[in-house]
Structure 1
Amino acid sequence: MDNHRTIARQLAQTSIAAGNPLDWFEQLYAKARLDGVSIPWADHTPNPNMIELFQQVDGQISFGRRALKVGCGLGDDAEWLSDLGFEVTAFDISPTAISECGNRFPNSKVTYVICDLFQSPENWLGAFDLVLESYTLQVLPPELRAKALKQISGFVSFGGYLMLIARLREELESTGLMPWPLVRREIEILTSQGFVERYAEDYFDGEQPPVRRFRGCYQRKA
């Protein structure tokens, strides 16, 4: 997998050094389409860590119907949410990724949108009963993550839920190479932004070797 990430890391490093830390996403998806380059997080199947999170909170939480998938990539998670009965909007900054979603799911009920997280439509604020963020924060430079999480949490309706999945590390551990794990402090800032933690899990996943991750469900106070 590290070999698969080499090109992504090189593109990210170049974009960040040039002061354009989000440009590399489109570059990577374009290379995948034209040159067959691997996208490290695109397994062409719904994220098992997401599915398990829903199983963990099943019966404890009653969701509304309108959902937003942050950084939807090739669309598998958005389609899974749609199959559950959610009315799904899914966005990605990469036009190529959104184009591929259309190619893969031509009869989809999901509304796919090309959108920069930091330039999202005003009518998305407080508009979604469920917002799902998985693996986006961990590929953003640390200096952008607090701003990104604030933006993401702003999409959640009062009484709605934010579900979050990310790599995790201890404060004193090295950030290592991209994807850069978060620390709990970065996530727990949600509680100062009007959210209540409904579920949280620090665990190792089923990858080889296992990866330490965090997944949680937070409810915005009504």
Structure 2
Amino acid sequence: MTASAADARRLAAASLAAGDPTGWFEHLYAQARDGRAEVPWDVAAPSTHLRALDLPDGVGRRALVVGCGPGRDAEYLGELGYAVTAFDISATAIDLARARHPSSPVDYVVADLLDPPAAWRHGFDLVLESNNVQALPTEIRARAIAVAGTFVAPGGLLVVLAAATGRVDSDGSGPPWPLSRAEIDGFAADGLRPISITQVEAVGTTLPTRWQALFTR
């Protein structure tokens, strides 16, 4: 296990023990800002699995990035022409994204997937959920899955990228906690239907395989 993965698991375990299953995101970013931890997913390049997708032309379309972190995937979608809103529950993560991309047209905001702004309902042509639900414990995961699709506009696209199997050497602890096929199927709610659901070989991670799932309204 890498040092950054250990930091994430340490802080997640502490938050879960305190009854705050999402608070560890802010703790992780704050400690990373102070040089006391590393964020495992804070890498320069956009997601390889996102870049592999043949996405619709972004011009004239709105995109929403769930749990955007420092903004690498949000910036990529912005480069494709999308008008991007990107949110994270961690205020420190949003501060970091804004600082790294000071001239960006992306609208970075603090928001909670479990309690999103009502104005976002059915408001986006593309919604990206990459690696966030897999970082949530079972007791709130179903709720997060149900909410993710509510952002998708009629004719829009929901992209779900997530761990499908655990680390070869894992003892089952997390995060991440890989999603089951039933959980992936659960994204087809609120009028969404699946376009494709596949398992692909993971790139740049010790997780053997990943889900690549597309849904539309």
Shared fold (TM-score, shorter chain, > 0.5): yes
CA distance in 2: counterparts of 1:120 and 1:9, whole angstroms: 26
Which shows bigger deviation, 195-204 or 75-84? 195-204
Partner of 2:182: 185
CA distance in 2 between partners of 1:79 and 1:37 (Å): 24
Answer yes or no: is the 8 Å Cα contact 1:128–1:156 preserved in 2: yes
Aligned residue in 2 for 1:124: 120
1:18 CA displacement: 0.9
* Candidates 202, 206, 215, aligned match of 1:205: 202
**Equivalences for 1:19-58 in 2 at 5 Å?**
19-35=19-35, 37-52=37-52, 54-55=53-54, 58=55
Cα drift, residue 213 of structure 1? 0.5
Quickly say closer, same or farther: Cα 1:174–1:218, change in 2 above 3 A: farther
Q: Which amino acid aligns with 1:28?
A: L
Q: Check whether the contact 1:25–1:93 (CA below 8 A) recurs between aligned residues.
A: yes
Q: Does 1:18 align with 2:18?
A: yes
Counterpart CA distance in 1 for 2:188 and 2:103 is 39
Q: Is the 8 A contact 2:48 2:203 kept in 1?
A: no
C-alpha distance in 1, partners of 2:149/2:205? 32
Distance in 1 of aligned mates of 2:207 and 2:26: 29
3-state SS of the aligned residue for 1:108? coil
- Within 5 A, what are the aligned runs for 1:73-92? 73-92=69-88
Larger helix proportion of the pair: 1
8 Å contact 1:163–1:218 — kept in the other structure? yes
- Which deviates more, 66-75 or 118-127? 118-127
Residue pair 1:125, 1:156 contacting (<8 A) in 2 also: yes
TM-score for the superposition, normalised by structure 1: 0.89
RMSD: 2.0
Asked if the contact 2:148/2:187 (under 8 Å) is kept, the reply is no
Query: 207-216 vs 88-97, which deviates more?
Result: 207-216
Maintained 8 Å contact 2:32/2:39 = yes
Distance 1:123 1:93 in 2: 17
Query: Larger deviation: 19-28 or 185-194?
Result: 185-194
Could you tell me which runs of 5 or more consecutive residues in structure 1 were left unpaired when the two chains were aligned.
none
Counterpart secondary structure, 1:35? coil
Confirm whether residue 6 of structure 1 aligns to residue 6 of structure 2: yes
Gap runs ≥5 in structure 2: none
Q: Is the 8 A contact 1:93 1:115 kept in 2?
A: yes
Amino acid at match of 2:3: N
Aligned residues: 213
Secondary structure of the residue aligned to 1:191 is coil
Separation (CA, whole Å) in 2 of partners of 1:202 and 1:174: 22
1:175–1:181 contact (8 Å) kept in structure 2: no
Whole-angstrom CA distance in 2 between matches of 1:34 and 1:124: 33
Contact 1:44 1:74 in 2 (8 A): no
